[in-house]
Structure 1
Amino acid sequence: MLPYGRQDITQADIDAVIEVLQSDFLTQGPVVPLFEEAIAKKVGARHAVATNSATSALHLACLALGLGPGDRLWTSTISFVASANCGLYCGANVDFVDIDPQTYNLCPDALARKLETAKLSGQLPKIVVAVHLCGQPCDMAAIHRLSIQYGFAIIEDASHAIGGRYRGRPIGSCDFSDITIFSFHPVKIITTAEGGMAVTNSKALHNTMELLRSHGITRDPTQMTHEPHGPWYYQQIALGFNYRMTELQGALGLSQLERLDQYVERRHDLAERYDRLLSDLPVTRPWQSPDSYSARHLYVIRVQQEIADRNHVFASMRAQQIGVNLHYIPIHTQPYYTPLGFKEGDFPNAEQYYREAISLPLFGTMTETQQDIVITALADSIKGCG
């Protein structure tokens, strides 16, 4: 089956990992700091903290920003559940904001209306997680203006978006946010097998995330409660976690990073080709904001319901060995979340998107021949609805 996403592992990647396997350090060595430094430089941020997953990075980001019981985190309901779960991990309350019907990202107008109401009831969020769905950044300038007005912190969940830009600046520069999160899962733009990264321009936030990443343990005498007993000495000064990235993952990431721009450019070529070749089909193609340069992680179409049934099209394409997928089921409709007070109808734009969306295959090594197969299968599937 042709997958919707696929990693690209080269001999250079393999050699980089083997070099680490033959070294003295498999974890907590020199390679992960080099990867952190390289990512920070690439995206224009001052600091970076590598983790074993983007989910872990989201959790650390929330903790570093002081999220706790009684606080509120808001995010888009069209995202992977990790974008919301990170708030629950901290004991906070989670709520959602409807999407913009063009970008499918968190809608700034819907956010503004919700904030105005929340201020009257004293229930403003402490953190808003802005999810860059499909690799296209949210309207961060608008969200940032609201953060100044209402006093919340911003996390950019850029799990889909490394290699993209907003207003000419790399996603991850944190010009309009406190912390940005990247994912290096195998279907993402570049991979470390599993892994994530939090980048920030705040030294204090960096230090907190770095401390909590490894059990809350420090070997820095300036952070200790008393003089160390000897060179072996460490202290646990906070309740942290084992969220570390291994040296093998860091080596793979460093090698992959060298091809990031190449991968994103290829995704753009394929996305633009999809745009052209799908123009005569009754589907809505992804709209791109002129303020953004998407990383093009996903190519999501919407099947026009009055012409074709999305479920039939999806099943037909799977039967033709095309690994289409759906990103995402609205989080507020998940069985874990509905007892928290959410119900269908709460976020109509998101729910309408869910009824129509299909993610077509798109990855850096995809060929035009493979893409033609996808397009033919899509056209046949829609025709079969008649």
Structure 2
Amino acid sequence: MIPYGRQIINDDDIAAVAAVLRSDFLTQGPVVPRFEDAVADRVGAQHAVAVNSATSALHIACLALDLGPGDLLWTSPITFVASANCGRYCGADVDFVDIDPGTFNICADALEAKINQAASDGRLPKVIVAVHMCGQSPDMLRISELARRHGIRLIEDASHSIGADYRNAPVGNCAYSDITVFSFHPVKIITTAEGGMALTNNADLAARMQRLRSHGITRDENLMTHASDGPWYYQQIELGWNYRMTELHAALGLSQLGRLDDFVTRRNALADRYDALLADLPLNLPKRLIDARASFHLYVVRLHDEARHRSVFEALRSDGIGVNLHYIPVHLQPYYRDLGFADGDFPVSEDYYKRAVSIPLHAGLSEAEQDTVVACLKRALA
């Protein structure tokens, strides 16, 4: 089987984790802040908060922005469910904005129309989660202008996009958002086995997310409501969670970060090669934005003929090609249907779902394996 994605672990990664196993700290020690500082420095953000998953990062990001019951969060239907669930964890309502058919990200035109209608209705969202589908930034300049005009807080769910650029700057610098979230799941660009990170340029947001990831506990005497009993003293000042990243995970991430540019360069080279090899097939290929460089976490093709979607998918799987489908529209999941969403609500996203196939793309994919993928895809389409 040629998988659609996989991690690349080398001897340096193993040595970094082994060094932590021989050290004094396995959970909270010096490596986690070193990893945070390294990622923040790499992307140009002022603060980084490492956690045990990108889902946790999205949750504490929403909490730090005071999202709660009676509030509204908007995101894309074409994403992993966590981009919407983070709002539900906070007790907020969730709605969606349809996608651009070329980039699969939130359509800025659709967003503007929906914001204008919501402003007229007096029901604007408190938070928008702008997903970076496949590792390419959405039109963050326009999205941020719309959000700021209406006082909407903005989270970039850049789980796919560490190592990507937008408007000649690294994704994650938070120039267009309050908080940006990365994922370090094994199939992402770099991995910590499991893990995530929230980036921000706001010191107060960073401090609150640091507290929320650790049970809502503080040792800062300026935040305590009662005088300290001694050097051992701490207080829980709000309800938080155990979302901390361990030293082991951070060590792996720190080692992997040194190869980030190599991984992204290789993924882009393979994507360029797919563009050339698949150009004459009855497929829509990913659209590249002029002012962005994707990290290419995924390479998604869409069939011209939706009637053949399942047969092509199954033929590729039968040939040992580990294709996948990213993603089933969130609003069509049973949980969200029970909240009132239905077929036809977001037609561009639903059309995408009927045609999309994620074909193998990762930094360890060889050109020979890529040729096999292409040959099998041609045969399945013939």
* CA displacement, residues 119-157 of structure 1 (integer Å, 9 cap, x when unaligned): 121110000000000000000011011012211000000
Amino acid aligned to 1:140? M
Task: Identify the residue that residue 301 of structure 2 maps to in structure 1.
Answer: 301
- Partners of 1:275 and 1:142 lie apart in 2 by 28
CA distance in 2, matches of 1:116, 1:285: 32
Instruction: Please tell me whether residue 8 in structure 1 is matched to residue 8 in structure 2.
Output: yes
- 2:372 paired with 1:377: no
Measure, in 2, the Cα distance between the counterparts of 1:185 and 1:159.
9
Question: How much does 1:338 deviate?
Answer: 0.4
Give the aligned residue type for 1:324. V
Return structure 1 stretches of 4+ with deviation > 2 angstroms: none
**Residue 226 (structure 1) shift:** 2.6
Alignment correspondent of 2:346: 347
Partner of 2:310: 311
Q: How far has the Cα of 1:321 moved from its partner?
A: 0.7
Query: How far apart are 1:199 and its partner, in Å?
Result: 0.1
Query: TM-score if structure 1 supplies the norm length?
Result: 0.98
Q: State the superposition RMSD in angstroms.
A: 0.7
1:362 aligns with 2:361: yes
State the alpha-carbon separation in 2 of the partners of residues 28 and 238 from structure 1. 21
Q: What is residue 58 of structure 1 aligned with on the other side?
A: 58
Aligned positions of 1:256-295 closer than 5 A: 256-295=256-295
Match of 1:94 in 2: 94
2:112 aligned residue: 112
2:150 corresponds to:
150
CA distance in 2, matches of 1:193, 1:102: 31
In the TM superposition, what are the counterparts of 1:170-319 in structure 2 within 5 Å?
170-305=170-305, 309-319=308-318
Residue 223 of structure 1 aligns to a residue whose secondary structure is: coil
Q: Secondary structure at the match of 1:337?
A: helix
The one-letter code matched in structure 2 to 1:341 is G
Greater mean deviation of Cα atoms: 34-43 or 229-238: 229-238
- Rounded Cα–Cα distance in structure 2 between residues aligned with 1:102 and 1:13: 37
Distance 1:148 1:225 in 2: 34
The amino acid that maps onto 1:19 is: A
Alignment partner, residue 21 of structure 2? 21
Structure 1 residue 110, shift from structure 2 partner: 0.4
- Aligned equivalents of 2:351, 2:124: Cα separation in 1: 27
Q: CA deviation at 1:275?
A: 0.4
Indicate the residue corresponding to 2:74 in structure 1: 74
Q: Which residue of 2 aligns with 1:49?
A: 49
Give the partner amino acid of 1:74. Answer: W
Q: Could you list the runs of 5+ residues in structure 2 that have no partner in the other structure?
A: none
Q: Which runs of 5 or more residues in structure 1 are unaligned?
A: none
C-alpha distance in 1 between matches for 2:96 and 2:122: 17
**What letter is aligned with 2:137?**
P
Q: Tell me the distance in 1 between the aligned counterparts of 2:345 and 2:291.
A: 29
Secondary structure at 1:41 match in 2: helix
Instruction: Measure how far apart 1:193 and its partner are.
Output: 0.3
For residue 225 of structure 1, report the CA deviation from its aligned partner.
Answer: 1.6
Whichever residue aligns with residue 136 of structure 1, its letter is Q
Q: Deviations over 1:91-142 (max 9, x none)?
A: 0000000001111100111011111111121110000000000000000011
Q: How many residues of Structure 1 are paired with residues of Structure 2 in the alignment?
A: 382
Q: Deviations over 1:65-86 (max 9, x none)?
A: 0100000000000000000000
Deviation per residue, 1:186-243 (Å, 9 max, x gap): 0000000000000000001000000000001111222112331111111111110000
Shift in Å at residue 328 of structure 1? 0.3
Deviation (angstroms), 1:267: 0.2
**Alpha-carbon shift at residue 339 of structure 1 (Å):** 1.3
Distance 1:116 1:278 in 2: 40
Q: Residue 156 of structure 1 aligns to a residue in which SS?
A: strand
